[in-house]
Amino acid sequence: MTNPSFEFARAVTRRPAASIVDGLRAEDSGPPDLQGMLAAHDAYVVALRSTGAEVIVLDPLEAYPDAQFVEDTALCLPQGAILMRPGAPSRAGEVAEMAPTLRALYEDVREIKGPGHVEGGDILVTGKEILVGRSDRTDAEGVAELAAITAGWGHSLREVFTPDGVLHFKTDCSLMDGETILSTKRLAASGCFEGYRVLHVPEGEEAAANAIRFNNLVLMADGFFRTAEMLDKAGYEVVQIDNRDCAKLDGGMSCLSLRF
């Protein structure tokens, strides 16, 4: 791999459980449909595998309604994996469920021990640094502990801030390549992406900002035609995935996998 921030050999996902109806959400827009979510998850896995990557699909966890959002449980880097410490108490047990899989794939697995909290949805790894957004789920103590671990592996980490009312930093941004960020205007206005090329999602399509660059593909939620057209014109190969049910749980493309 020449750029480990978006070129991956593996991904880990977890199939949604019937308990998704009890998942966390900022606003109740109705219950997600399990069959719809499973079909979308299958399409997501197919897209990842189409790039030649190995995709590990873990079994559902009925005890954890948000467990399909595996990205929040860990940060996977070339040097090793770091188990997170979620800020949502109901999600704490998901980390222990993910740990055996990562220990089988990595020789070096560290963990955020606390008292701070960090969720993977607040972490954006670019071609030159790790950006970590403070949010309701990620606090200063958690960022500091994460910075100490990643510094030992030679990574530069920079703390930034998530806009009020936005769940995770990556709710509003995603990496398109080593130097290019797809972002909402409200997040980019903070200046956190100075030195990067920034592509702004069109007004009214803010939910499209949570996408993933995975090898040669950009996976994004479908229904955001102007964003898809913009990315296509910029030279990216776009795959659109049904995200309607996932969005009811404040989820998006990045939430559904660990990529390394």
Which residues are catalytic, by number? 168, 255
Nearest-angstrom CA–CA distance, 19 and 213: 29
What DSSP letter does each residue of 133-199 carry, written as one string? EE-SS--HHHHHHHHHHHHHTT--EEEEEPPTT-SSGGGSEEEEETTEEEE-HHHHTTTTTTTSEEE
| Secondary structure (3-state) at 201 | coil
Q: In angstroms, what CA-CA distances link 178 with 125, 137, 158, 214?
A: 9, 26, 16, 12
**Interacting residues of 57 by C-beta distance below 8 A, sequence separation 6+:** 13, 14, 15, 45
Chain-centre distance for alpha carbon 257: 7
Backbone angles phi, psi at 141, to 5 degrees: -65, -40
DSSP helix/strand/coil, 206: helix
Round to whole Å and give the CA distance between 176 and 196.
11
Would strands 74-77 and 130-134 be described as parallel, antiparallel, or unpaired?
unpaired
Q: What is d(CA 63, CA 51) in angstroms, rounded to the nearest whole number?
A: 32
Residue 12 CA from chain centroid, whole number: 12
Q: Quick one: how many helices (H) and strands (E) in the chain?
A: 6, 15
